[in-house]
């Protein structure tokens, strides 16, 4: 009981090192180790937030580098804001905000209908997302963005797409069109022109965990079936 209160960063790191090797001496996969580390970080952060420990060791515990190709696809919070602000006002900017704050896949973004948007008593918007494997999950959109999202509906029926094509009214934007919008905004913002909606999803995961969100919650928000998937890229850093 008192052991957690007396735990030091060095002690936690030593304990994590033992998790890198199986009982038979074989090394544990990096993705699995990152899952363990993410869980420990979340637990230590929670213990500090509820006042059980006086010191929060979580920020000092580092994960292994994510694969380089993943780390290159992580935008910083400033770059993400610049990218969203560079999108055309109205539909395009709102769409990128929903993609980022909801951590949505491009397929989930273009298939979103008003029937999946639920206004909560708090004014926030709850999205019922149907992801891979037809698995449904609930995603919460913060109040300022939810207000603009709900106001954009007008008289659209429940079956109508949330993000409608201007050239083809009544039909959703294509995935290609959405990513073209992202790349055009990235070019104007001066960030990596290779950016796509999936980069915003990566950014959501990385920024959420950087700011203290439990990895289990981030994994559930993204619709991952396995924590290992979240661990691989959620902790990547742009400079690594």
Catalytic residues: 105, 132, 198, 201, 224, 233
83 and 182 in contact (C-beta within 8 Å)? yes
Alpha helices in 91-214 (DSSP H): 91-102, 106-110, 143-151, 175-189, 197-210
130 with 122: CB under 8 angstroms?
A: no
Element (H, E) at 14: helix 9-18
On the CB side of 232, CA atoms within 13 Å amount to 12
DSSP conformation letters of 44-62: HHHHHHTTS-SS--GGGPP
Interatomic CA distance for residues 97 and 141, integer angstroms:
9
CA distance 58 to 77: 21
Q: Which residue is it, tokens 């055309």?
A: 88
């Amino acid at each position: 009981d008192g052991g957690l209160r007396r735990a030091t960063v060095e002690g936690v790191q030593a304990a994590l090192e033992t998790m890198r090797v199986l009982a038979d001496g074989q090394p544990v996969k990096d993705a699995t180790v990152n899952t363990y580390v993410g869980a420990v970080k979340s637990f230590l952060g929670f213990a500090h937030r509820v006042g059980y420990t006086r010191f929060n060791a979580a920020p000092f515990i580092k994960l292994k580098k994510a694969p380089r190709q993943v780390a290159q696809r992580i935008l910083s919070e400033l770059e993400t804001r610049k990218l969203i602000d560079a999108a055309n006002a109205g539909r395009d900017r709102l769409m990128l905000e929903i993609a980022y704050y909801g951590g949505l896949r491009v397929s989930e973004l273009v298939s979103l209908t008003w029937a999946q948007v639920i206004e909560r008593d708090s004014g926030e918007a709850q999205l019922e997302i149907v992801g891979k494997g037809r698995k449904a999950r609930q995603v919460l959109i913060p109040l300022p963005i939810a207000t603009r999202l709900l106001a954009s509906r007008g008289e659209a029926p429940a079956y109508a797409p949330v993000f409608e094509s201007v050239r083809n009214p009544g039909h959703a934007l294509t995935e290609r069109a959405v990513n073209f919008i992202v790349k055009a905004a990235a070019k104007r913002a001066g960030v990596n022109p290779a950016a796509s909606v999936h980069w915003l999803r990566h950014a959501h995961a990385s920024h959420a965990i950087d700011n203290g969100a439990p990895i289990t919650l981030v994994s559930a928000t993204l619709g991952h079936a396995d924590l290992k998937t979240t661990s691989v890229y959620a902790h990547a850093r742009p400079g690594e």
